[in-house]
A = this chain, B = another copy of it.
Amino acid sequence: MARRNTNRRVGIADVARMAGVSHATVSRVMNGNAAVDPDIAARVRAAAAELKYQPNPVGRSLALGKTDTIGIVVPDLANPTFQAILRGLSIAAAQDGYRVLIADSSEVTSEEAILAGEARRRCDGVVLCAPRMGDAELEELAPTLHPLVLINRTTVASNTPSLSVDYSQGIQELATHLVSLGHRKIAYLEGPLHSASNRQRLAGLEQFQAKHPDIELQFLEAGSNFDSGHDATDAVVASGATGILAFNDLVAMGLLSGLHERGIRVPEDISVTGFDDIPFARYTMPPLTTAAVPINELGSLAWRRMREQMQQSADATEAEESAQDVFEPRIEIRRSTAPVSLPVG
């Protein structure tokens, strides 16, 4: 015996007793599974209503082998990108009667695998955002998490869908935009060093450099949040670059603020670009030129891929090749970028 019987919630047995039928019958009418005599069904329903009976989800989960819940693991819930993914996912999942369980790893990479595993055990599937997890660890982890959908990561086990943003392409377009405005000295404010999406941007810039050997491209350390952009202000000024590609909008905004404090005008003196097009990007002063990622769509597509995968593993039609969705960012030209001003002198 597990718990004292005191204070029990109303259970299926109570309804059964009140309606004068067996548990089984109550279950049947609640789920509309098998044919049951209309009179009896009515009696059961009346009893259930009278007692305000609501099936215990834990019991159901155990019997059914599903929890109607999916987990999402994110590195940092303070990041607008993950907030937006979470939101898109949550809304889409809710439409199908699923809930989402959060696991915030607080940027502690070593916890991610554990959290993901735990989430998977509690839920019917996991959406994993783990930008800094090592590739090897991811490869090992992924099979144990199935159904799994990856965000901004891919795995060789090709039956796990992944959604990603083409950061390489986006950053190249932003860089090209700056060049088209006449900028010749460009600096990239790097994101976290081990972040997969930072690596993609670097790769994109390498391609860009190859195409534009005449452009002077510098790399400055920054990070992924507002403060790291703000802190990078001096380095930016020292670099002498006229066009700045920030890792993301947050970093760009921090930089904007730092430049403003030093009386450096944007875009007259320096052009700045962000990345992501978070909701606030259009309201900075000046409004931020950035690469727009349809992030809510990403959240809801994540759910769709998850659902597909849960269905096909229910059908036991295993190992189907899964979709690899890549979102092409669309650059959004606002007023933080402008033609380079004439060199003094």
Q: Footprint of B on A, CB under 8 Å?
A: 2-3, 54, 56-59, 61-65, 67, 69, 77-78, 83, 86-87, 90-91, 94, 99-104, 106, 117-119, 121-122, 226, 253-254, 256-257, 260, 279-280, 283-285
Contacts and interface: CB of A to CB of B under 8 A. Distances in A.
A163 B303 CA distance: 33
B99 A54 contact: no
Contact of A99 (B59, B91, B103): B103
B83 A117 contact: no
A253 B253 CA distance: 15
A99 B77 contact: no
A5 to B, nearest CB: 11
A87 B78 contact: yes
A77 B56 contact: no
A58 B61 contact: yes
A102 B99 contact: yes
Contacts of A87: 77-78, 104
A104 B117 contact: no
A67 B67 CA distance: 12
Output the residue of A57, A103, A256, A257 with the most chain B CB within 10 A.
A57
Contacts of A2: 63-65
13 contacts: A2-B63, A58-B67, A62-B62, A69-B122, A77-B83, A86-B102, A90-B102, A94-B104, A99-B102, A101-B101, A254-B283, A257-B283, A285-B285
Given A100-B102, A284-B284, 13 more contacts: A2-B65, A57-B121, A57-B122, A58-B58, A58-B67, A58-B122, A62-B62, A77-B90, A83-B83, A86-B102, A99-B101, A99-B119, A101-B102
A83 B59 CA distance: 31
A226 B283 contact: yes
Contacts of A77: 83, 86-87, 90-91
A54 B104 contact: no
